[in-house]
């Protein structure tokens, strides 16, 4: 319903909202206005005076690809594109202890509430993402439970100085549903903000999230509490001595004429690249419709339709009672987007960075502004794009070199104790590099041991400090990469390098290697263990070729190969079966976005990327999706204590016969900046 024309302020607000809607990109995440409309519709159909209700996820239901592509094409040709591409919201709502999947048409802003399209009750295994608010309430419930309070006092601790957290319980073969429960375990923050280094072992509480009541409690044993000394990482708390503080000069990145990139809403344009950014509560940063302008063909060519971290699986190797179910699915259980950290200018991102905000929903469905969820900046670190020095020209030395200038899109998500720094970096050569940095603090275990020689049993980790064990664990990151290499219909080409013996003695050489390739026809052909025989993973458009007849493509350049080390029938591994392969390829299906399934909390592994791919669908010359899993086995060490220096892993998507020649041959070096009326002073202070 439109506001009354008699109130000019309301009319102005309405016009602004309407203009925002008309100019909305089909892949934009939901705006606060749309979130409020969705919430109003839910409350209208399920009023709070007769229903218990919590909203666990609200996001965009991806439009069909043709809708997006038509909108983009129309926009590029006309300043007045179709103002009403269909927009549908998808939400997961817990109503009267049942899980509802609801889709809603939010296309028409003139209606007072959107139209519900589907409202289905989910009866399968698993539960929705935990909300921040219900975790806080559950922790408070545990801390007011009389037996727990008594156990805390028995340990000589002050309950006011505890931090209690919700841990998902997973699934370990239980035949009967446990209900929506979490395990509450606590830490002492007396003397430090790094409470993770002071776990209270042997004590936990089980809370039912639907009823918000304690259903189980255990005080198994008293374990010494690790000391707080040396655990606080804040600069103001570090020793005043100069030990470890090596002075360095200041470094800056200044662009006096402004950045070379342009941000139009959620579309970013830089050099020859153009792409779209959106924010999602479950997976955080979503990068879409990445295309590159080919100056030789004088046309814009698609590369990546949609890319994001689909799941982040972190299983711990301690099998004792308080630890055996610590096998986290950070996206599906807690939400990578929900856990996103506001980026700090000049600290998390350089001073030449621009920032974007995002929005998510609260437990009751209200929009929550998430400031500075992304930063975008140009990086110049003295790297070389290409160069050559030629000494063989008589009487001359010829040197040509070009500096590398790239564009970075960054997000940081802090899921509990770990911070993940996610960078998407664009190169003018057509390369897309993805890097994830792991930092933050470890999840440690309290112990009686204070020295390694005292240990004569399996402790499932490394002794990092007195009474402190850093538990062994893994990080598996599964990326959803919907590559559309110069068009939608692509194929996966697997290649390996074969050693060949020289025949018929036509050469003094005895051997050489050559490339043997095969095109994957079905999903079973697209499951690849990297580190085995396959050496090249290529996505090609079999319908297009270069002038020389080579098939146009993009190559996956993976990081170090990693494979699960758990038994295949172990319950965490059953739930994360999609990590068995470094590479999986499936036909595009807009509902297959989240590798761990729609409802990950207490899932059984029966609705995952692995189970979808068992249908063994055709993937040759189809619209296909690459799923790439990378990660590390983290053998903890003392250098990880009390806070972990960043460890980075990543991969590249690199052109392979995509261009006719080197696309950056004609790139010129950035212009020199001449400073006028400026002087530099040397600061000798430390």
DSSP readout, 303-347? EEEEEEEEEEEEEB---STTTTT-EEEIIIII-TTTTBPPPPBTT
CA dist 472 and 525 (Å) reads 33
Q: What is the CA radius of gyration of the chain?
A: 28
Q: Report the distance separating Cα 204 and Cα 142, nearest Å.
A: 9
Alpha helices, DSSP H, located in 46-182: 65-77, 132-143, 146-154
pLDDT at 256: 82
Upstream peptide bond of 464 is cis (omega within 30 degrees of 0): no
- Rounded Cα distance between 289 and 293, Å, is 13
Active site residue 330: yes
Confidence (pLDDT) at 250: 79
Contacts of 42 (CB under 8 A, 6+ apart): 53, 55, 91, 93, 102, 365
Give the pLDDT score at 73: 82
Domains and CATH numbers, the chain: 17-122 (3.10.450.40), 132-237 (3.10.450.40), 261-656 (2.70.98.20)
Closest CA to 408 of 260, 289, 301, 304: 260
Find the catalytic residue in 418, 420, 581, 628.
418
Active-site residue among 330, 423, 484, 640? 330
Look at residue 245 in the predicted model and tell me its pLDDT: 62
Interatomic CA distance for residues 450 and 433, integer angstroms: 43
Mean pLDDT by 10 residues, the chain (686 residues): 45 47 80 94 95 97 91 72 78 97 87 85 97 97 97 96 97 92 98 97 97 97 96 81 66 83 96 97 98 95 98 98 96 98 95 96 96 96 90 90 94 97 97 98 97 96 98 98 97 94 87 94 96 85 97 96 95 98 97 97 97 97 98 97 97 98 87 62 37
Active site residue 418: yes
- Cβ 586 vs Cβ 613: under 8 Å: yes
pLDDT in the model for residue 360: 95
Q: Looking at residue 111, what is its pLDDT?
A: 59
Cβ–Cβ under 8 Å, residues 474 and 636 = no
Does the pTM surpass 0.85? The reply is: yes
User: Cα(38)–Cα(360) distance, rounded to whole angstroms?
Assistant: 12
303 C-beta neighbours (distance < 10 Å), count = 22
């Amino acid at each position: 319903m439109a506001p009354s024309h008699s109130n000019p302020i309301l009319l102005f607000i309405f016009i602004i909202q309407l203009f925002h809607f008309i100019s909305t990109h089909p892949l934009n995440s939901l705006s606060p206005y749309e979130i409020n409309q969705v919430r109003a519709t839910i409350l209208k159909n399920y009023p709070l005076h007769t229903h218990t209700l919590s909203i666990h996820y609200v996001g965009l239901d991806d439009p069909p690809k043709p809708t997006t592509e038509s909108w983009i094409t129309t926009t590029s040709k006309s300043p007045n594109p179709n103002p009403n591409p269909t927009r549908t919201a998808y939400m997961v709502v817990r109503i009267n202890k049942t899980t509802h999947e609801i889709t809603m048409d939010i296309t028409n802003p003139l209606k007072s509430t959107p139209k519900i399209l589907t409202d289905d009750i989910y009866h399968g295994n698993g539960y929705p993402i935990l909300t921040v608010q219900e975790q806080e309430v559950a922790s408070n419930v545990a801390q007011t439970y009389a037996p727990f309070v008594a156990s805390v006092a028995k340990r000589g601790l002050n309950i006011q100085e505890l931090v209690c957290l919700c841990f998902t319980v997973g699934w370990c073969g239980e035949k009967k549903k446990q209900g929506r429960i979490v395990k509450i375990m606590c830490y002492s923050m007396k003397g430090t903000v790094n409470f993770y280094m002071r776990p209270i072992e042997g004590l936990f509480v089980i809370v039912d999230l639907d009823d918000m009541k304690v259903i189980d409690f255990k005080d198994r044993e008293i374990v010494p509490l690790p000391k707080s000394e040396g655990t606080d990482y804040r600069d103001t708390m570090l020793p005043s001595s100069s030990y470890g503080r090596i002075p360095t000069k200041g470094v800056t990145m200044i662009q006096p004429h402004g950045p070379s990139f342009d941000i139009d809403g959620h579309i970013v344009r830089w050099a020859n690249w153009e792409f779209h950014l959106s924010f999602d509560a479950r997976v955080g940063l979503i990068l879409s419709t990445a295309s590159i302008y080919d100056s030789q063909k004088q046309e814009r060519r698609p590369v990546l339709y949609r890319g994001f971290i689909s799941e982040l699986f972190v299983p711990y190797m301690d099998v004792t009672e308080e630890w055996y179910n610590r096998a986290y699915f950070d996206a599906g259980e807690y939400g990578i987007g929900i856990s996103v950290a506001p980026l700090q200018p000049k600290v998390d991102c350089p001073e030449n960075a621009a920032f974007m905000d995002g929005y998510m929903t609260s437990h009751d469905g209200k929009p929550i502004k998430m400031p500075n969820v992304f930063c975008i900046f140009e990086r110049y670190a003295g790297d070389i794009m290409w160069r050559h020095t030629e000494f063989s020209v008589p009487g001359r030395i010829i040197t040509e070199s070009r500096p590398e200038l790239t564009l970075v899109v960054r997000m940081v998500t802090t899921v509990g104790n770990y911070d993940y720094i996610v960078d998407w970096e664009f190169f003018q050569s057509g390369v897309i590099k993805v890097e994830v940095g792991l930092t933050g603090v470890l999840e440690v275990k309290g112990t009686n041991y204070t020295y390694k020689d005292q240990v004569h049993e399996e402790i499932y980790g490394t002794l990092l400090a007195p009474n402190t064990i850093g538990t062994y664990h893994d990080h598996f990151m599964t990326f959803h990469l919907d590559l559309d290499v110069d068009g939608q219909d692509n194929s996966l080409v697997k290649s390996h390098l074969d050693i060949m013996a020289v025949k018929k003695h036509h050469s003094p050489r005895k051997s050489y290697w050559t490339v043997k390739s095969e095109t994957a026809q079905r999903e079973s052909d697209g499951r690849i263990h990297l580190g085995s025989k396959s050496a090249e993973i290529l996505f090609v458009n079999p319908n297009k070729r270069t002038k020389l007849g080579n098939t146009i493509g993009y190559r996956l350049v993976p990081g170090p190969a990693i494979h699960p080390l758990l038994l295949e029938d172990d319950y965490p591994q059953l739930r994360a079966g999609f990590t068995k392969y470094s590479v999986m390829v499936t036909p595009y299906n807009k509902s297959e976005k989240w590798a761990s399934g729609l409802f990950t909390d207490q899932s059984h592994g029966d609705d995952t990327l692995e189970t979808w791919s068992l249908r063994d669908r055709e993937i040759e010359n189809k619209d296909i999706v690459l799923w790439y899993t990378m990660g590390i086995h983290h053998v903890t060490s003392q250098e990880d204590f009390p806070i972990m220096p960043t460890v980075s892993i990543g991969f590249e998507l690199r052109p392979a016969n995509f261009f006719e020649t080197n696309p950056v041959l004609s790139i010129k070096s950035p212009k020199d900046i001449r400073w006028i009326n400026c002087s530099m002073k040397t600061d000798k202070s430390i």
